[in-house]
């Protein structure tokens, strides 16, 4: 796989972000101070972050740095910090059904369902398919590498996702109002799930190096660009740079609505601290 060609793109952008203050190792977001908690470090390119809210376990993939592109899925218990590797060939994509708390992991040989109690994974579907991305909302969505087309998998039946048919998609999600946010070769866009025409497409940014999309518990959409975390403002159709991260790779929220991001070798959780003078 040449997946790192997709993952690794440098973007230099100057934005009005509040940086760390002298003597404080956290960050300020909209005037509130957040401590940085290191969840894992010395991990190469942690990517495709997902959290199971029932267990508060973080799932992600990382590059194991062999002579070729090779990846491994892993998990971190956010309560105990226990780290466990997951045995799946080229584990790369993770998603969670938050209703049933079933965990799906995609690798170079298909999609697996993972049981965190036994630490075992079983084939679920698309055997032999090279999975790039997984997403769950009501049903399971996935993209296949290298086509990057979006498919749905329901009751063993695979179909192209009509609303993004024949489009290369690198990341996407569907928010609580059934708007599809997606990154393709042209940029970052959104449109209603019941799409009726090009006039309904909202453009947020073209030629953008976007590496992750997620929502907080309230349904606000956030994007991870290579220079940091952005809040997606649907009303103004703009991106607000809220956290500066050098080489941002992944983004997710935990069960307590704490923001978790990754850079090229570290996974960090931001926790609100109202006691500090920073």
pLDDT confidence bin for 197, thresholds 50/70/90: low
CB-based contact 178:215 (threshold 8 Å): no
Instruction: Answer whether residue 87 is part of any domain.
Output: yes
Between CA 81 and CA 61 the distance in angstroms is 16
**What strands lie across the sheet with 259-262, from one edge to the other?**
27-29, 32-41, 266-272, 259-262, 250-253
Instruction: Answer whether residue 278 is part of any domain.
Output: no
The CATH number of whichever domain residue 113 belongs to comes to 2.120.10.30
Least confident of 6-15, 135-144, 198-207, 240-249: 6-15
0.85 exceeded by the pTM?
yes
List phi, psi (to 5°) of 200.
-95, 0
What average pLDDT does the segment 124-138 reach?
97
In order, the DSSP letters of 180-204 are: EEEEESSEEEEEESS---GGGPEEE
Closest-CA residue to 214 (of 194, 230, 191, 227): 230
Between CA 57 and CA 50 the distance in angstroms is 8
Between CA 211 and CA 2 the distance in angstroms is 16
* pLDDT attached to residue 189: 97
What lies within 8 Å, CB to CB, of 215 at 6+ separation is 173, 175, 176, 221, 222, 253
Name the DSSP class of 81: -
Domain of residue 44: give its range.
4-272
Instruction: Answer whether residue 277 is part of any domain.
Output: no
* Number of domains composing the chain: 1
């Amino acid at each position: 796989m040449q997946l790192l060609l997709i993952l690794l793109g440098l973007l230099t952008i100057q934005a009005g972000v509040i940086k760390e203050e002298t003597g404080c190792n956290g960050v300020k977001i909209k005037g509130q101070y957040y401590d940085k908690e290191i969840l894992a470090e010395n991990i190469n390119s942690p990517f495709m972050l997902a959290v199971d809210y029932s267990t508060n376990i973080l799932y992600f993939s990382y590059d194991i740095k062999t002579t070729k592109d090779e990846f491994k899925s892993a998990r971190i218990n956010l309560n105990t910090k226990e780290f466990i590797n997951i045995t799946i060939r080229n584990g790369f994509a993770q998603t969670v059904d938050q209703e049933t708390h079933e965990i799906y992991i995609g690798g170079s040989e298909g999609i697996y369902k993972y049981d965190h109690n036994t630490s075992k994974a079983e084939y679920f579907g698309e055997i032999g398919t090279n999975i790039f991305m997984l997403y769950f909302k009501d049903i399971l969505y996935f993209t296949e590498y290298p086509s990057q087309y979006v498919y749905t998998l329901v009751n063993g039946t695979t179909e192209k996702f009509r609303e993004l048919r024949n489009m290369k998609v690198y990341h996407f999600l569907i928010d609580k109002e059934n708007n599809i946010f997606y990154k393709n070769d042209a940029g970052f866009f959104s449109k209603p799930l019941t799409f009726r025409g090009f006039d309904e497409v909202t453009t947020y940014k073209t030629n953008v190096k976007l590496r992750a999309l997620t929502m907080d518990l309230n349904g606000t959409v956030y994007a991870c660009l290579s220079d940091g975390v952005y809040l997606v403002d649907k009303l103004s159709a703009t991106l607000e740079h809220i956290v500066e991260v050098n080489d941002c790779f992944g983004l997710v929220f935990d069960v307590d609505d704490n923001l978790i991001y990754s850079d090229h070798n570290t996974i960090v959780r931001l926790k609100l601290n109202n006691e500090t003078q920073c």
